[in-house]
Amino acid sequence: MVAIVTPPDGARYEPGETIPLTVAAVASRNVIRVEIMLDDQIVAVQPNPDPSLTFSTRIEYTPRARGRLQLRAVAVDATGVASEPYTITLIVGDEPTPIPLPPIETTPVIGPGGCILSAAFIEDVNIPDGTQVAAGATFTKTWRMRNTSGCDWGEGYTIAFFSDTPMHPTGSEPIRPTPSNGIVEISVPLTAPAQPGIYTTTWRLKDPAGRFFGNRVFAVIRVP
């Protein structure tokens, strides 16, 4: 077993500030080391110089990214077996002021022939939420969606930037015509911000008249 004794969950630090972590571990086959992980990467390791049933140590970690960071501690015993991770969330820098989302319209958007336009998100095809992307790098996010309208989407339908962080030069990309109840993969080329942090960009479909409709879709990335 392992636990992060200090700092407490939710503690706040400034960018570049060294964070002292107090970690305690216990293992029936002796603790040989403790590892600190950010996402799936080991960012600090503290060996136990005299492997023992219990081990308490201090590990320092200096984060490079702003935002909410999840640190995990893992203890490893003499047979190489790792404990279940102990996770805390730390806040680095000021949390950004939430940007109010544009309101979701309550009046249905009427399409061709009087049908109500709607779209349902199915799944992320690539770039899972939290993917690390280098500062300024370009990448393409693809979502799979279903046309849940009672009519086809013909020419002139687009996916457009809706809220949060803009990462596209024009904020709009065409989508291919999709029949009612059909499934379409929609791709948008994006560019990661230049500064470290965790960023979200939110998009929705638009009809040829420029009216938003359907589920919101997101890309959430981490710039180291």
pLDDT digits (tens), the chain, 224 positions: 899 989 888 888 888 888 899 999 999 999 999 999 887 788 889 999 999 999 999 999 888 777 888 888 999 999 989 998 898 888 888 655 555 555 655 678 898 888 999 999 999 999 988 889 999 999 999 999 999 999 999 999 999 999 889 999 899 999 999 999 999 999 999 999 998 888 889 999 999 999 999 899 999 898 88
CATH of the domain at 80: 2.60.40.10
Q: Are residues 132 and 208 in the same domain?
A: yes
Provide the whole-model pTM.
0.57
208 lies in some domain? yes
213 lies in some domain? yes
Q: Quote the pLDDT of residue 98.
A: 53
Q: Are residues 217 and 121 in the same domain?
A: yes
Q: Are residues 80 and 169 in the same domain?
A: no
**114 secondary structure, DSSP code:** G
Question: Helix, strand or coil for residue 113?
Answer: helix
Q: Are residues 153 and 62 in the same domain?
A: no
Domain encompassing residue 154: 112-223
Q: Quote the pLDDT of residue 196.
A: 84
Q: Are residues 81 and 13 in the same domain?
A: yes
Q: Are residues 62 and 135 in the same domain?
A: no
**Is-contact 211 160, C-beta < 8 A?**
no
In one letter, which amino acid is 90? L
Q: Quote the pLDDT of residue 96.
A: 54
Q: Which residues contact 224 (CB under 8 A, 6 or more apart)?
A: 64, 65, 132, 134, 135, 196
Q: Quote the pLDDT of residue 41.
A: 81
Q: Are residues 186 and 124 in the same domain?
A: yes
Q: Quote the pLDDT of residue 130.
A: 82
Q: Are residues 123 and 217 in the same domain?
A: yes
Q: Are residues 135 and 170 in the same domain?
A: yes
Q: Quote the pLDDT of residue 189.
A: 96
Q: Quote the pLDDT of residue 129.
A: 83
Nearest one of 176, 90, 99, 193 to 138, comparing CA atoms: 193
Per the structure, how many domains does the chain have?
2
Q: Are residues 179 and 133 in the same domain?
A: yes
Rounded Cα distance, 83 and 34, in Å: 10
